Amino acid sequence: MRKQLLCSGCSLVGMAFLFGLAACSNNAKHPAAVDSGTSPTDRGCKAGSLSETYVLIDDMEATDHGPIGLAGIASPLSPGYWYNSGASYSDDGGAPSDTSTPRQGSFLFSTLPSPTTTLNCKASAHAARQSCMLNGLYDTCGVGFEFAQVPDVDAGAGTPSGAAPSDAGDAGPPVPRVTVPFDISRYKAVTFWGMTTTPDPTGSLQVKVQFPDPDTDPRGEVCNGGGGNTSKCYNSYATHFSFTTSWQKFTVVLDAGADGVPPAGGIAIDPTWGYQQAKWIPTQVYGVNWQAQRNTAPDAGAPLATDIWIDDVYFTE
């Protein structure tokens, strides 16, 4: 298994948004998944289904970017952290500058303009937010987290307590850690709340929710054949939702279908690019990320403002 070092508040999965998506396809080729949430006006302040048990992954209330709050991640594993990604842009021919807020590698949870409610009327004051200015055809804006890590025994002593984190360490613990595949096979879905402040002319923004695993992420050394060419990687199992300017509850069904045809709200790889032999492996998932992409032609004029918000994330079983 290929190791994954985490930088300050981010990961190479996050960096994949920036450097590994040259083969990414147009979101318009994929219909939006079924929105299984409540109406935007009630913001999901309703009891969960009696046939489902909700397991909190994270509510973004405890710390600045993690670790996630999922219970049951036991030693030698430790919970992973949130990270962000965005695009670099230059309108004057100079060196590209980071157009992300928060800046890449310095993710912090954002305070909601006013407290709101999620599942069972749970109060929420903070959420994961990423905003970017996107210009190129494959520019993306994203936020996500990784499930589990282990200490990296090959990375040395790491960042001393109180010192500035280095590229080999995480902004949380002072010991460098690597992300490892995590078993989510006991769960049937992921539920979360989402919104945008930058809809397109249709009044919505397409957001991709994806689940990197060893077949689709270069850390597994499958999509890249164990080499440095990652052009076929990052086509992870995913689905798409239409975010609007009102909070909505969404559910991703963790089912790729026995014949490769996912059920409503299920997940699939994009059949138009990337490694096509990837199998959905629910016992080996690195994490979850949300990605917005504005498929405009490169240098098509002024950059497009893109903003996504993610709140309380749950498994259902």
pTM of the predicted structure, to 2 decimals: 0.81
Rounded CA separation 234/54 (Å): 29
CA dihedral 237, 254, 226, 23 (to 10 degrees): 10
Q: What pLDDT is recorded for position 293? A: 84
- Residue 274 tokens, joined: 């990337």
DSSP conformational letter for 11:
-
> Is pLDDT of 114 > 60?
yes
The rounded distance, in Å, linking the Cα atoms of 13 and 11 is 5
Please state the domain extents for the chain: 12-316
CATH 2.60.120.430 fits 12-316, yes or no: yes
Tell me which of 55-64, 86-95, 145-154, 190-199 is least confident. Answer: 86-95
What is the amino acid identity at position 202? Answer: T
**Residue 22 confidence (pLDDT):** 32
Rounded mean pLDDT, 274-283: 94
Write the burial class of residue 273 (CB in 10 Å: 0-12 exposed, 13-18 middle, 19+ buried).
middle
Structure-model confidence comparison of residues 89 and 199, the more confident one? 199
Is pLDDT of 88 > 90?
no
**36-41-43 Cα angle (round to 5):** 60
Burial 137-153 (b: 16+ CB within 10 A, else e): bbbbbbbbbbbbbeebe
pLDDT at residue 95 tops 90: no
- Tell me what pLDDT residue 51 has: 62
Pick from 15-29, 146-160, 180-194, 280-294: least confident: 15-29
pLDDT of residue 232: 94
Question: How confident is the model over 217-229, as a mean pLDDT?
Answer: 93
What is the per-residue pLDDT for 163? 29
Q: Are 292 and 207 in contact (CB under 8 A)?
A: yes
How does pLDDT run across 248-265, given as a tens digit for each residue?
Answer: 999 999 999 987 789 888
pLDDT at 104: 83
Strand partners, 195: 309
What is the rounded radius of gyration, in angstroms, for the C-alpha atoms of the chain?
A: 18
